[in-house]
Amino acid sequence: MATVGEKKRRKRERREMEEQFGLGQTKRAPRRGRPPRSTDIDTQNVVLAARCRQQGRRATVKDMLAVKEAINSSLIGLAIKATLTPEEAMEAWDAFVHYDHDCRRFEMLVLNRQSSPKSATLEMMPDRMETDPSASVDDRTEEERHRAAVNKRDAWRSHLGTLGEPGAGLIREARHRPPETWWDTHTATPTRKGRILARALYDLADIAD
């Protein structure tokens, strides 16, 4: 077994040889620890897994990717997809998203009331002024914003009046009723009300167009 002195001598000789022949000691690549997990990604996965459970899915990677699509993020969206053709479903979903958005802006700007995360049917969709670079700067006064919100609310009221019952009533209820009202998670099929709602939203899209 080499003594401490011999080890030091060998190390010194090796260093001298490296310097003499221009050899650099091979350095180990720095150990790379496991990259920190992103909090944002973790949070998103928790949300997607919860959506999967709510919809009766197993929360596999495939299922989690599927529920990321906007229309799949809501049980109302699933009822729409299962009831209508793909083209009709997108029109119906678009109508519901804009109806919900305009109702919530009216509640926020005019009634000074905001939906809690638990009661909100959909995530709040940003105003076009906030997301579209081609849109001009929104320099409206607060009164003008209020008036615009009221006008949109009144327009939807008129459209729902044209649509009639029971569809109009179900669309109003869709913003507040439990999501299980529209989709049976046990059978993974739309309920009777879910099918009626889907067709009503498609008709509403045609009226509002």
- Separation of alpha carbons 150 and 158, rounded Å: 12
pLDDT on residue 25: 44
How many domains are contained in the chain? 2
pLDDT score, position 194: 97
Cβ(144)–Cβ(72) under 8 Å?
no
Position of tokens 């638990």? 118
Same domain as 184, residue 149: yes
Q: Are residues 48 and 99 in the same domain?
A: no
Q: Are residues 119 and 59 in the same domain?
A: no
12 occurs within a structural domain: no
Q: Range of 65's domain?
A: 43-73
Same domain, 142 and 175: yes
Same domain, 61 and 95: no
Our CA angle for 166, 202, 148, nearest 5°, is 90
Backbone phi, psi, residue 21, to 5°: -100, 10
| b/e per residue 49-63 (b: at least 16 CB within 10 A) | bebbebbebebeeeb
| Of 193, 196, 174, 175, the residue nearest 183 (C-alpha) | 193
**pLDDT tens digits in sequence order for the chain, 209 residues long:** 556 666 666 666 656 544 444 444 444 455 555 555 556 667 777 877 876 776 677 778 777 776 677 788 889 999 999 999 999 999 999 999 999 999 999 999 888 876 554 445 554 444 444 444 444 566 788 888 899 999 999 999 999 999 999 999 999 999 999 989 999 988 989 999 999 999 999 999 999 98
- Claim to verify: residue 49 and residue 130 sit in the same structural domain: no
Of 34, 52, 73, which closes a domain?
Answer: 73
d(CA 119, CA 136): 33
**Domain match, 85 and 140 both:** yes
- Answer with the one of 54, 73, 92 that is the final residue of a domain: 73
Q: What is the 3 state secondary structure string of 25-74? A: CCCCCCCCCCCCCCHHHHHHHHHHHHHHHHCCCCCCHHHHHHCCCHHHHC
Residues 182 and 142 in one domain: yes
Through-space distance between the first and last CA atoms of the chain, rounded to whole angstroms: 90
Q: Has residue 154 been placed in a domain?
A: yes
